[in-house]
Amino acid sequence: MQNIDQRLTAVRPSPRQLALQQMEFYAFAHFTVNTYTGLEWGDGTEDPGIFNPLEFDASQWVSALKAAGMKGLILTCKHHDGFCLWPSKYTRHTVAASPFRGGRGDVVREVSDACREGGIKFGVYLSPWDRHQPCYGSGKEYDDYFVGQLTELLTGYGEIFAVWFDGACGVGPGGKKQAYDWERYYETVRRLQPGACMNVCGPDIRWCGNEAGSTRESEWSVVPRRMRDTEKIAADSQQADSEEFRQREVSATDMDLGSREILRGETELIWYPAEVDTSIRPGWFYHPEEDDKVKGLEELFDTYLRSVGGNATLLLNIPPAKSGLFHENDVSRLRELGERINKAFADNLLVGAELSAEGAEPGHGIDCAREDGYGEYFKGSGSSCEITVRFPKETEVSYIMLKENITDSQRIERFRIFDGGRLLFEGTVVGYKKIVRLPEPVRTGLLRICIDDSRCYPTLSFLGVY
């Protein structure tokens, strides 16, 4: 019988999960009739005639996202109001009924084309709750409708990297709720876009549990299979437009989802990494009164460090304005964020430094972790080890970056970092990427990284000091 560590390390990411985690940072764009009504959630009675972004330019979006270092964009192709940003054949409630491009426009087409031309990936959000559709709540009839629209998006716009499902499930006509046929939706995605991850109400990427950018100190990727229960996710998801919900934080009761001790009694385990989603503004859709409420640079950089640097991905929402362009304040902040990230991690101080490690497996020494990748990597011979970094001269250090070889699962349970004999940091999860931000820069000639506990043996695919 396998012991607990053997069972845990047997759980590993699929190629699609690994590819999405390597993207690290990507965007949401919430855009629909709500942009023109000032609402966050439309009720489905909106006149399509109000949707008319006269200056719409998807290439402007892509340029702004790339300046921040984002690798993809997920578009709200249809939100709860049921208005489709493409000319769906299943409803008249689409851009074809609007003045946009003289009724011949297709926002999904222009955004997906701009993403590919700009070298970033494209994903789709399709709300399963459609407040406009009369057959919502009817069972199979509505599922046929939803799968029909899902099929249009998955077959008409090239390669899709993510399909984002939320759990909103409100009351429809006659007071009925729809019992979503999730397994049918999943089968449709797997068949038509086998490389796409299904996020949040899906089997590939897990929701962090809030929309405020709050993160856990220990974000595990190997968790109980029951966490993938879509009914539980739906119950915990937002059921009404609420500022309190958008700003709620992770509670202390669910801080540890995957430590060895927590998982000891679990019989079914899965690889289910977390995604942190938040908006650059208080709302998810554009509101002109929020033009001066774009999140500050340091707040966004801190969110980046805690999410991307905390074994999660970061999905940052940028809402287009009524013009169809990102507002200049959002564009400016994205550029500043990209510059801030690049400045922090431009120069790896390990160049010229001497690395050594106790307890390395032959052929997997610590020098294998100098280059970022899974071809060569450090591998310890036991459950603990000590890595020493000696600089040629005293050096100022602000950040330490560690990455496990997650193709061999997530292993490190506890580690500490020392400036010689002085403790600088102690933590638990490393996973795909851990960025340790020191409270203040430290001048040192020697760092010690002590991996105190790991599952079977530790791995590091990359080590960086900045």
Q: Is 166 exposed, middle or buried (0-12, 13-18, 19+ CB in 10 A)?
A: buried
pLDDT tens track for 158-186: 999 999 999 889 888 778 899 999 999 99
pLDDT of residue 252: 38
Fold observed for domain 354-465: Jelly Rolls (2.60.120)
| pLDDT-based confidence at residue 236 (cuts at 50, 70, 90) | low
Residue 99 carries which DSSP code?
Answer: S
The residue with tokens 């998807």 is: 58
Measured CA to CA, the distance from residue 277 to residue 196 in angstroms comes to: 18
Q: Is the pLDDT of residue 85 over 90?
A: yes
- DSSP labels for 416-443? EEEETTEEEEEES--TT-EEEEEEEEEE
Place of tokens 């399709």: 126
pLDDT surpassing 90 at residue 187: yes
pLDDT confidence band for 336 (50 / 70 / 90): very high
pLDDT band at 265 (very low <50, low <70, confident <90, very high): confident
Per-residue confidence at 250, pLDDT binned at 50, 70, 90? Answer: very low
Architecture of domain 4-344: Alpha-Beta Barrel (3.20)
Q: Are 26 and 313 in contact (CB under 8 A)?
A: yes
Contact 460, 250 (CB under 8 A): no
pLDDT at 233: 57
Query: d(Cα 169, Cα 49) in Å, to the nearest integer?
Result: 27
How many other CB atoms are found less than 10 A from the CB of residue 241?
Answer: 15
For residues 81 and 144, is the Cβ–Cβ distance under 8 A? Answer: no
What is the spatial distance between Cα 357 and Cα 379, in angstroms, rounded to a whole number? 10
The pLDDT tens digits for 17-73 are 999 999 999 999 999 999 999 999 999 999 999 999 999 999 999 999 999 999 999
Give the residue range(s) of CATH 2.60.120.260 domains in the chain.
354-465
Backbone angles phi, psi at 42, to 5 degrees: -80, 160
Pair 111, 60: CB distance under 8 Å: no
Distance CA 444, CA 426 (A): 18
How many other CB atoms are found less than 10 A from the CB of residue 245? Answer: 14
pLDDT score recorded for residue 420: 87
Q: Do residues 21 and 312 lie in contact, with contact meaning Cβ atoms separated by under 8 Å?
A: no
**Strand 312-317 to strand 274-279: parallel, antiparallel, or no bridges (unpaired)?**
parallel
> pTM for this structure?
0.94
In DSSP terms, which residues pair with 27 in a beta bridge?
73, 316
- Note the pLDDT of residue 171: 86
Q: Kindly report, as residue ranges, where domains of CATH 3.20.20.80 are found in the chain.
A: 4-344
The confidence score (pLDDT) of residue 168 equals 87
Choose among 96, 85, 205, 225: nearest CA to 149: 85
